[in-house]
Structures are given as structure tokens and as C-alpha cells.
Amino acid sequence: MPTATSPGVAAPLVLLTFAEAARMLRVSQMTIRRLVERGLLPCCRVARRVRFRMADIEAYVAEHMRGGSNDKPYGGAQDT
């Protein structure tokens, strides 16, 4: 029997609610709504409910990670 780690087998689809997405990112549900409205966080509708794919949450985090040598610290201040 194939497992989720077998080649050619897709990982199970994980869908999150607004509350779960907000908890995962440690932000308010209003912040999640704003990200959706601005087109920064994709979502889908399932039976008139909005859901977020775990993969989209992870992609959002990856795109907004800081840590490269050219990145400014949060707040725009520079170390001297």
C-alpha cells in the first residue's frame, strides 16, 4: 500500500478555517481577511465557507521570511 511519502502520491489536502489560519500565523482573523482582500493569501469556498490550503499558508510564510544579509531588520532601522 502506498504512503504519503511514496513517489507519485500526493499529500492529503489540508483545509483550514479563518480561525485556524489566524492561529497558525499568530495573527487576528481580521488580518487574515485583509490578506485575502489584498490578494496576498489565496482561499477557496467549500459549501459557502472560506477555507485555506495549508500549502498556501506555508507558501505565504516562505515568501515573507526575513533573514538574508540584504534584508533590513523589522521597523526599517539599520544596525551600525
How much is the pTM? Answer: 0.68
pLDDT means over runs of 10, the chain (80 residues): 61 90 97 97 94 95 75 51
Beta strands in the chain (DSSP E): 15-16, 44-46, 49-53
Domain boundaries, the chain: 15-63
- Collect all residues with Cβ–Cβ distance below 8 Å to 52 and sequence separation of at least 6: 15, 16, 17, 18, 20, 21, 32, 41, 42, 43, 44
